[in-house]
Amino acid sequence: RLRLHDGKLIKDRRYHLRTYPNCFVAKELTDWLIDHKEAPDRETGIRLMQKLMDHYIIHHVCDEHSDYKDAKLLYRFRKDDGTFPLSKDVKVFMRGQSLYEKLVSVEGSILKMREENSVKYQRTFLGCEMVGWLVQEGEAENRKEAVELGRALLEHGIIQHVSNRHHFFDSDILYQFWINFRRRRRLTELLNENSSRALSESPDSPFCLRKLNPDPGNTSFLSVQTNKEIKVAVRRSSITSLAGNSNPYFSTTPTLVFPPVAECNPKSVLKRPVTNEELLSPGAPYIKKTLTIVGDAVGWGFVVRGGRPCHIQAVDPGGPAAAAGMKVCQFVFSVNGMYVLHLDYQTISSLIMTGPRTLVMEVMEAIE
């Protein structure tokens, strides 16, 4: 984004007697990606920009196009118009980046190469050193608040204990920054990331799971779906990061206590496929409903499946979603004000997981 500003590709543009500030022409940007070796060809460039659209980083200036088109259309970075969604995950990541930049740019930084058990680690610091530095620099009011910040950074995969054995403590335990924020990343790396697909490792979206016969010592929950099949899956609270990191202390991989009996709802509950055009056509036999679902300690209690559009595959009769009026076969129109008819269920899962506990969804339901 900053390079595009410097190169004057992002600027105020006039179209149909209206001025659109801080925008770029899609076709010009695709040319730029190829010229600057950010993409080997136009097809890859389009896929890269679509990835940015799917992650709510850029959008069409009037939101009339949900896909990135290699044409003379105007798009804009959401950071340039104030519509970038600052979820908790994003805020923690940006805070970590800010602290990292501050630490590496000062003389006598606490970040040093250190050795533990004959292994050398870069960008390391002692827990007590970091706590003291955060308080000294005004990044935290007191040592307790500094520990809470350190724990948030660790849970989001930004820092870690050098051998992944400890959470963050105000002690002489050795930690390191897991992310080198100053490494220049190429856009094509986006196409190799599978963070949004980490949610699909289980046949059920993690946010839908409901706890049965709670046992304080058991961190896994049974999920019962409409066909009464049972499988074991991870509870929502253990999904601490969608960054796809491999930190075993906070693993995103479901822990199976018992072998699954069968895969839940392998077949779609829809009687036939439905397209977005059919849903949105004038006079279509569908009505739109707004559901406000307040999640509990386990989740929201539903399964979303499919893509373009996604549908509700199963609803726990005793969960928050059912209480809000959610039903199977409804189509997901928007999530927390974000239009999602063009997205697949993994992306919608990611959007819900990183959003607030109170979930506002618009669904489209067939008129009986």
pLDDT in tens, 197-256: 444 334 344 344 343 333 444 333 333 333 333 233 333 333 333 333 334 333 333 332
SS3 per residue for 189-258: HHHHCCHHHHHHHCCCCHHHCCCCCCCCCCCEEEEECCCCCEEEEECHHHCCCCCCCCCHHHCCCCCCCC
- For residue 179, give Cα distances in angstroms to 55, 94, 97, 118, 160: 20, 12, 9, 22, 10
Residues 98 and 166 both lie in one domain:
yes
What value does the mean pLDDT of the chain take?
79
How far, rounded to the nearest angstrom, does the alpha carbon of residue 293 sit from its chain's CA centroid? 19
For residue 193, tell me if it sits in a domain. no
Cβ distance 288 to 360 under 8 Å?
no
Same domain, 346 and 308: yes
Separation of alpha carbons 289 and 293, rounded Å: 13
Is residue 92 located within the same domain as residue 164?
yes
pLDDT category at 194 given cuts 50, 70, 90 is low
For residue 330, the enclosing domain spans: 276-366
Picking from 134, 159, 177, the residue at the C-terminal end of a domain is 177
Q: Are both 21 and 61 inside the same structural domain?
A: yes
- The more confident residue out of 261 and 323 is 323
Q: Per the domain annotation, does 184 fall within a domain?
A: no
d(Cα 167, Cα 346) in Å, to the nearest integer? 29
Q: What is the pLDDT of residue 214?
A: 38
pLDDT in tens, 265-309: 457 889 899 998 899 888 889 999 999 998 887 788 898 998 889
Domains held by the chain: number: 3
Residue 187 in any domain: the answer is no
Residue 97 lies in a domain: yes
Helix (H, G, I), strand (E, B) or coil at 161: strand
pTM exceeds cut of 0.85: no
Q: Both 63 and 31 in a single domain? A: yes
Residues 66 and 120 in one domain: no
DSSP 136-159: HTTSSSSHHHHHHHHHHHHHTTSE
The residue-averaged pLDDT of 348-362 equals: 86
Q: Which residues on neighbouring strands pair with residue 307, listed in sequence order? A: 344
Q: What is the pLDDT of residues 152-193, one digit of tens each?
A: 999 888 998 988 888 999 999 999 998 878 777 778 877 876
CATH value at residue 346: 2.30.42.10
pLDDT at 266: 54
Answer yes or no: is 188 within a domain: no
Do 40 and 105 lie in one domain? The reply is: no
Same domain (yes/no): 42, 99: no
Please identify, among 125, 157, 177, the residue that sits at the C-terminal boundary of a domain: 177
Please compute the mean of the pLDDT values over residues 325-335 and round it to a whole number. 94
Mean pLDDT of 318-347: 90
pLDDT at 84 over 90: no
Side chain identity at 55, as an amino acid letter?
A: H
pLDDT at 147 over 50: yes
Q: Output 281 or 146, whichever has higher pLDDT.
A: 146
Q: What is the pLDDT of residues 86-121, one digit of tens each?
A: 778 888 888 998 999 899 888 889 999 998 888 888
Q: Are residues 127 and 104 in the same domain?
A: yes
Do 72 and 100 belong to one domain? Answer: no
In a domain, 126, yes or no: yes
**Same domain? 97 vs 67:** no
Q: Which CATH number covers residue 121?
A: 1.10.10.10
| Residue 256 domain-assigned (yes or no) | no
Helix, strand, or coil (residue 352):
helix
Sign of the C-alpha dihedral, residues 94, 100, 103, 105? Answer: negative
- Do residues 305 and 197 make contact, with C-beta atoms less than 8 angstroms apart? no
Q: What is the pLDDT averaged over residues 42-55? A: 92
Pair 274, 331: CB distance under 8 Å? yes
pLDDT band at 79 (very low <50, low <70, confident <90, very high): confident
Report how far residue 315's alpha carbon sits from residue 313's, in angstroms, rounded to the nearest whole number. 7
Q: Is 360 a member of any domain? A: yes
Structure token pair of residue 189: 């790396």
**Residue 96 sits in the same domain as residue 117:** yes
- Helices 127-136 and 143-155 meet at what angle, rounded to 10? 120
pLDDT score of 193? 60
Residue of 99 and 196 predicted with greater confidence: 99
| Residue 94 three-state SS | helix
Question: Which among 353, 359, 358, 344 has a CA at the least distance from the CA of 87?
Answer: 353
Exposed/middle/buried for residue 186 (C-beta within 10 Å: 0-12, 13-18, 19+): exposed
Both tokens of residue 178? Answer: 């897991």
- Choose among 331, 328, 329, 332: nearest CA to 351: 332
pLDDT score for 99: 93
Q: Tell me if 354 sits within 8 A of 88, measured CB to CB.
A: yes
Kindly tell me if the per-residue pLDDT of 61 is higher than 50. yes
Select from 77, 100, 120 the last residue of a domain.
77
